[in-house]
Amino acid sequence: MSVRVEIGKARLDPGRVLSSLACPADGAVNLFLGVVRDHHQSRRVLRLEYHAYGAMAKQKMQQIADEVTERFGATSVVLLHRLGTLEIGDVSVLVAVATAHRAESFTACRHAIERIKSEVPIWKKEHFEDGVAWVEGCRPGAPDPSPI
């Protein structure tokens, strides 16, 4: 079993992450990439800034990774989130989960990203053509996204 959790300014490399997950016992690997898009509602986005409460964010992501391992039988979990200024098309968050079977892998990956979005203290500031706006980050007490 392997777990990797990182929060930082380095670019996220999905190919490198996928190649690190190779395990003969796994029948499924799910990869989710959150990518900076060029719009939000009807406004044109120029770039995003991500900020975090560092130590707490990493601790919470580690708890999520450990839970995914225990709850869904994941043999590998990778949770990565970028901070700083990101341009359109940049990968902002990466979740990779390897399990023996596809159903668990899909569910575990979805569970992890929903928990990250709802519980990890990471916030984003959207830069538009006509101004800037902070986007609400984690919301304590959000419902479990994938009950079993």
Asked if residue 23 lies in contact with residue 76, where contact means CB atoms within 8 angstroms, the answer is yes
For 75-128, how does the pLDDT look when each residue is reduced to its tens digit (9 = 90+)? 999 999 999 999 999 999 999 999 999 999 999 999 999 999 999 999 999 999
147 pLDDT exceeds 50? no
The Cα diameter of the chain in Å comes to 51
Q: What pLDDT was estimated at residue 37? A: 96
136 pLDDT exceeds 80? no
What's the pTM value of the predicted model, to 2 decimals? Answer: 0.90
Please return the burial class of 67, using the count of CB atoms within 10 Å of its CB with bins 0-12, 13-18 and 19+. middle
Residue with more model confidence, 71 or 139 = 71
Q: What pLDDT was estimated at residue 148? A: 42
Contacts for 30 with CB less than 8 Å, ≥ 6 apart: 95, 96, 97, 105, 106, 108, 109
35 pLDDT exceeds 70? yes
Tell me the pLDDT band of 135, cut-offs 50, 70 and 90.
confident
Q: What pLDDT was estimated at residue 146? A: 47
133 pLDDT exceeds 50? yes
For 15-34, how does the pLDDT look when each residue is reduced to its tens digit (9 = 90+)? 999 999 978 889 999 999 99
Which residues are bridge partners to 49 per DSSP?
85, 125
Task: Domains for the chain: give ranges and CATH numbers.
Answer: 2-135 (3.90.1170.40)
Average pLDDT over residues 116-143: 83
Closest CA to 12 of 59, 78, 63: 78
For 50-81, how does the pLDDT look when each residue is reduced to its tens digit (9 = 90+)? 999 989 999 999 999 999 999 999 999 999 99
Handedness of CA 4, 36, 123, 32 (dihedral sign): negative
Asked if residue 11 lies in contact with residue 90, where contact means CB atoms within 8 angstroms, the answer is yes
Distance CA 123, CA 82 (A): 11
Contacts for 61 with CB less than 8 Å, ≥ 6 apart: 5, 7, 79, 81, 116, 120
